[in-house]
Structure formats: structure tokens, C-alpha cells
Structure 1
Amino acid sequence: MSADVRDLVKRFDGRVVLDGIDLTVRRGEIVALVGRSGSGKSTLLRVLAGLSDDHTGEVTVDGTPTVVFQEPRLIPWLTVTRNVELGDPQRRKRSATAGARRVLGEVGLQHRLDAWPLTLSGGEAQRAALARALVAEPTLLLLDEPFGALDALTRLSMHDLLLRLFVEHGFGVLLVTHDVAEAVVLADRVLVLEDGRIAHRVDIDLPRPRGHASPDAAVYTTRLLELLGVTDRQPQP
């Protein structure tokens, strides 16, 4: 097991943001969180990452959780390798450098080891951020809209990369996304948050790899959109 949450309650200025959340993320599975803005998705992820401790309930995370945000958050005056080294919890220079170079090879950036962050494309920068998370050898990978700012083709290549790393490393993944189709393509199950509660759970019973345009995936996407209150609207004449 990577993470277990029981009866989690989180308040901001007296307002309940997370209301009695129960959630389990196991190693070797991808769980996606979808919901409207303000439903509590990113707040839940931050609690699991240890970035927010003002809550009640039980939160257990085995091993090391690491986070990848929508913005890569690379330090511009450090090379790509040095940025990735910062993710090594030991930070022993020789081993950190070796580990950084290893994971940069895993994400396809072996040719950009000494590059400066501002010279990277959007996809390269997000690959570097992913490498920085991987160097800590996490049991739980927390992804907060990591592909939201990428163009469509780069996003698809990042989906393929994530799934390959997921199979190779066997960590658990909690993915926060606004893209329902992305959740269907990547996740084993999708949780719909409404007003700080898990309102719906949809298990994605499809083999990987899955295509966005496949009829089977489209059925799940339509179902989730309906649960989110989004229906197809015909153009007005």
C-alpha cells in the first residue's frame, strides 16, 4: 500500500474543503481525481504530500511521496542535472549526481544533462520535473495537473512516458486532472470529488494501452462527464 486516508477533514477559514475523505492508493495502481475547480482535488494531494498538516483524520503514506506540479518549478540558475539532484533526499554529491543522470536517461533527457532550464521546451522541462521526483525512488507519485500546460502531442508522449515508468518502478500514482479523457486513458479508477467529498467512483476496466478515440474509452469519458454535470450540447441554429 502507498497511501491510506480515513475520515480526512480539512478547513480553510472555517470553510470545509475536504469532508470525511476515505481513500486508498496501492502500489502498482493509478488513481485519478477529477472534479470542478474548488472541489478539493489539489488540497487532498497536498495533504498526502505532507505540504498541509492542519487537518483531522488519519493519513498514512508508506515510504516516500514525491510531487510533480503543473509548472516544472526548475531553478533557472542550476543545470538540469543539478535540479534533479535536489530531489535526492540523501543529497550525497557523488551518488546524487549518478542518480540524477540515471533518471534523466529514463525520461529521455540524457542529451540535456548540462542544459539550463530556460533552454528546455515545455515537454523537456516537465520530463526534468518528473526525473526530480523519480530520483527519490518514491512509493507514491503525486501528480497535480502535470500535463495541463502542454500541447496535445507532447501530452500524449508524456502519457506514454508515465505509463512506462509506472510499469518499471511499480509505484502508486495519484493524478489530479481536469481532463476526463486523460483520466480514462491513464487510471485504474477515477474518483469524482464534489464539495470536498468523493461522490462517485468509476473503475476503468480496459486493458492498457488505451486510445482517447477508442469507443470503449469514450463510453467511460461520457459517463464521467455526466457525473460531473457536463452533457453534450447541440449547437443552436
Structure 2
Amino acid sequence: MNVAPRASAPLETAAVVAGLVRAYGERRVLDHVDLHIARGEFVALIGRSGCGKTTLLRALAGLDSIQGGRIEAPRTPAVIFQEHRLLPWKSLWQNVALGLGEPGARDRASAALEEVGLGDRLDDWPRTLSGGQAQRVALARALVREPTLLLLDEPFAALDALTRIQMHRLIKRLVAKHRPGVLLVTHDVDEAINLADRILIMRGGGLARDLAVTRPIDAADLRAELLSELGVGVETD
């Protein structure tokens, strides 16, 4: 098995994927995928279950090997999963500061927690948090290192509707401030429309569509087009 080399991307580029191949036995989950994500760009990736969305994200994160192609991305991109993955035996600021390993780590963690609205809870424990608050800490932990690339694997899927709206507003504000390139894997078409500058549709191991989201948008028409691409009919009265 050959693993493609990973190199640092230029400043204006967050990630480049060229001819990416990932197979499980005889089945190619990723079949010569090409992708470019720029700094400050928010890209959403949608598709049916099992189409390879998370496989592509994990390859970009360096968590999965590949059989062919090329990846140019940071060696340690920031990743947020559906589960917050906070360490229960560490305080909130210690969770955010994981891996910083330098003087001033508490101050940097404090500033990151302040950005997500939890600046007064540095010494609290993860068990005291709601699901939305825990994801805010995970977001602070991801952004404290000023990453070039931020990978989001359905981080809002388990949240209630109101908390999800609040998290959408927060992530848009912080991405605009810190300007990482973002790849969001989601099953939620409305979430993709709300957050993304571009929406990619994965099908058959490749990227079947690449749609720019120009604002202001006709969300209803775009939603209908995306659902049609996914093979889901839109009910009409």
C-alpha cells in the first residue's frame, strides 16, 4: 500500500487533493477525486450514506492511508467530530490547550474559550457541560492553534435545533475571523446551504457536482436542486 506524501500548502491554499484513490478490497470508495480548498473558504460535502464523504475527510486529516493520488494539506489539521472527545479528567482550559506545550498556554486557551462564550468556565469539568457547550469547547480547541485547515465531521448532528442554529452562527463568525479553509461533511442539506460558499455532491466515489453558493440565494430552489441530485423528491402541495 502506497501512502501519498503530504506537504505544506501555500498560504492562500488550505488543501489540495489530486487523483485521490481509496479502496476497500475491490470497492473504490474514492475514485480519482480532485479538490481544492482555499483559505477562508467554507466547503460543504454532501451525499448518500456510504458514498465516501467521511473517507475523504479522514484522508485529509491523515487518519486514513490512500492507494493513489496526492494530498497537499497541513500535517495536523484541526478536526471536530460529532462527539466532542473532551478528556473528562482535564479542565476546560486544559482540554483546549492540549498539545500547545508552551508558556502562555492557559492564556491562549482562555482567549479561545472567551471567543466561544465560555470564558468564565476555564476550570470547569467537561461533565458539567451541555452538548452544545461541549462542542463549543471542541471548537475552541480546534481554533486555538490558528489552523490553515478545519475539518468538520457532522459536528452539529446530535444537537437540538435551537443549539444547532446558535452553533451555525458561531462557526460562521469564527471562520470569518480566523480564515481557515473548511470542509464540512454533513447529511443536512439546509445546513450546507446556510454555511457553505461551495457545496460538493459526492456520488460513485467522485465529486459529481461543485455548486457555488452566491448570496443572497434562493434557498428553496437550491434545496430542491440538491435534493434532486441526491435522489430525493421534493413534496409539493
TM-score, scaled to structure 2:
0.91
Partner of residue 38, structure 1: 50
Three-state SS of the structure 1 residue aligned to 2:174 is: helix
Q: Which residue of 1 aligns with 2:101?
A: 91
Offset at 1:95? 2.2
Residue type matched to 2:24 in 1? F
Structure 2: gaps (5+ residues)? 1-12
Distance in 2, matches of 1:26 and 1:182, equals 20
Deviations 1:139-184 (A, max 9, x none): 1110000100000000000010011001111111101000001000
- Which residue does the alignment assign to 2:10? none
Structure 1 residue 63: Cα displacement: 7.1
Structure 1 stretches of 4+ moved >6 Å: none
CA contact (8 A) 1:64 1:136 kept: no
* Secondary structure, aligned partner of 1:111: coil
Aligned amino acid, residue 36 of structure 2: T
Query: Displacement of 1:99 after TM fit?
Result: 1.3
Give the drift of 1:108. 0.7
Which residue, out of 78, 101, 106, partners 1:66? 78
> For the residues of structure 1 that align with 2:20 and 2:166, how far apart are their CA atoms?
35
Identity over the aligned pairs, expressed in percent? 54
Asked if 2 retains the 8 angstrom alpha-carbon contact of 1:2 and 1:63, the reply is no
* 3-state SS of 1:10 partner: strand
- For structure 1, which segment, 189-198 or 58-67, has the greater mean C-alpha deviation from structure 2 after superposition? 58-67
> What is the DSSP-based 3-state SS (H/G/I as helix, E as strand, rest coil) of the residue aligned with 1:193?
strand
Structure 2 SS opposite 1:175: strand
Measure how far apart 1:82 and its partner are: 0.8
Of the candidates 96, 104, 113, which is equivalent to residue 122 of structure 2?
113
Instruction: Return the letter of the residue paired with 1:69.
Output: F
Instruction: Choose which of 143, 146, 156 in structure 2 pairs with 1:134.
Output: 143
Per-residue Cα deviation, 1:176-220 (whole angstroms, up to 9, x for no partner): 00000100011011000012111112111114xxxxxxx811211
Equivalent residue for 2:94, pick from 82, 101, 104: 82
- How big is each residue's C-alpha offset from its partner over 1:37-80, in whole Å with a ceiling of 9 and x where there is no partner? 10100110011111112331010015751100011011111111
Name the aligned partner's letter for residue 191 of structure 2: E
Q: Which amino acid letter does the alignment assign opposite residue 214 of structure 2?
A: D
* Candidates 44, 48, 51, aligned match of 2:60: 48
Q: How far apart, in 1, do the equivalents of 2:81 and 2:141 lie?
A: 12
Residue in 1 that maps onto 2:178: 169
Unpaired segments of 5 or more residues in structure 1? 208-214
Name the structure 2 match of 1:212. none
Q: Distance in 1 between matches of 2:67 and 2:105?
A: 34
Q: More helix by proportion, 1 or 2?
A: 1
Q: 1:75 to 1:62 in 2, by over 3 A?
A: closer
Query: Would you say 1:19 and 2:21 are equivalent positions?
Result: no
**SS of equivalent to 1:25:** strand
Aligned to 2:214: 205
Whole-angstrom CA distance in 1 between matches of 2:114 and 2:127: 20
Q: CA 1:78/1:15 → structure 2, altered by over 3 Å: closer, same or farther?
A: same
Report the count of equivalent residues.
225
